[in-house]
């Protein structure tokens, strides 16, 4: 019986070694097939005869090996695609299994389990390498994700004012229009243009003009809600998107912005100049308009009317008959 036990231990070692080399999961079913194949390869006739005499002996012998090694196979449910946390857990279990195998090997007086112990140790080392690889990959992915976020932020932000740019405006206007249409909410748009901005650049230089744009951008952000969005539309033009806001409320917001601009002292970067800045504003909402471009055109026409009215004032879509554009 002792020799039979040694043969079974040797077959178990060969079977497990093959499973490990092929990076397969050592489930009981797979282990059983590999055990029989190893017995045939090693020509362990007495083991095969023993198994043939009673098919249940195979299951019993395999179960005996499992019991003797402290549930070895249950601790080896390893897959290279597992997450790092799972791999670390398996390594801890393997440490316990190795100690269990050592105890069993001593008890069986070295009945062929030394090789099995060696294979388990190798598998544990492989998992250590997998953990390190997964950790490194995770760090690399995190770094790349941050780079992508930074690039996306740069693509959506105006570098001078740090406001959202025209590209972002086009996207968010489209999204808000779709949301408004789906839930039947009205939203509004404010367009703002600095009056005679070219004169500031011509008389004081572009650094002064840039300082005015930065200051106005900050002022606009301070004047709206968190759910609102402020954009530098281009040059000295700005837009404000006001979700779930009817025209009457949007006009009140525009009046607050207009008053704040008129009571703010604008200075250049070196604070040597104190300048008075005014702006013209146009306001429109989505009520009755069937495309984003129609809403933008309505606000633009209101802004044009504000300029035609002498600048430094506010006009809304109610002050004219807007064109319902379908382009």
Residue 229 CB partners (closer than 8 Å, separation 6+): 164, 168, 172, 240, 241
Cα–Cα nearest to 237, from 318, 163, 152: 163
> In the structure encoding, which two tokens stand for residue 52, read together?
């043939």
190's enclosing H/E stretch is strand 188-194
The yes-or-no answer on residue 59 being catalytic is no
Which 3 state secondary structure label does DSSP give 278?
Answer: coil
Distance CA 172, CA 163 (A): 13
Helix and strand numbers (H, E) in the chain are 11, 7
Distance CA 141, CA 143 (A): 5
Residue in 119, 236, 274, 287 annotated catalytic: 236
Catalytic residues: 236
């Amino acid at each position: 019986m002792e020799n039979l036990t040694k043969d079974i231990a040797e077959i178990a070692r060969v079977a497990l070694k093959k499973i490990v080399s092929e990076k397969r999961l050592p489930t009981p079913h797979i282990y059983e097939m590999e055990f029989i194949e190893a017995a045939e390869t090693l020509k362990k006739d007495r083991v095969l005869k023993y198994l043939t005499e009673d098919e249940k002996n195979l299951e019993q012998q395999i179960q005996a090996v499992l019991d003797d090694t402290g549930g070895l196979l249950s601790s080896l449910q390893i897959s290279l695609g597992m997450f790092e946390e799972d791999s670390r857990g398996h390594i801890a279990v393997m440490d316990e299994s190795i100690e269990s195998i050592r105890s069993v090997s001593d008890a069986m007086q070295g009945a062929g389990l030394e090789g099995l112990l060696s294979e388990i140790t190798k598998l544990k080392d492989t998992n250590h390498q997998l953990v390190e690889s997964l950790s490194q990959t995770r760090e690399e992915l995190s770094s790349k994700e941050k780079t992508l976020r930074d690039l996306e932020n740069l693509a959506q932000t105006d570098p001078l004012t740090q406001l959202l740019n025209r590209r972002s405006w086009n996207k968010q206007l489209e999204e808000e229009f779709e949301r408004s249409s789906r839930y039947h909410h009205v939203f509004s748009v404010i367009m703002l243009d600095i009056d005679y901005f070219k004169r500031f650049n011509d008389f004081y230089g572009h650094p002064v003009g840039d300082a005015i744009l930065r200051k106005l951008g900050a002022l606009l952000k301070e004047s709206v809600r968190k759910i609102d969005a402020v954009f530098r539309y281009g040059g000295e033009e700005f837009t404000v998107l006001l979700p779930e806001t009817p025209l009457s409320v949007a006009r009140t917001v525009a009046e607050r912005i207009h008053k704040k601009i008129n009571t703010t002292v604008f200075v250049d970067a070196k604070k040597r100049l104190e300048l008075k800045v005014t702006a013209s504003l146009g306001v429109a909402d989505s009520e009755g308009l069937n495309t984003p471009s129609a809403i933008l055109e309505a606000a633009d026409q209101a802004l044009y009317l504000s300029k035609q009215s002498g600048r430094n004032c506010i006009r809304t879509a109610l002050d004219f008959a807007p064109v319902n554009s379908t382009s």
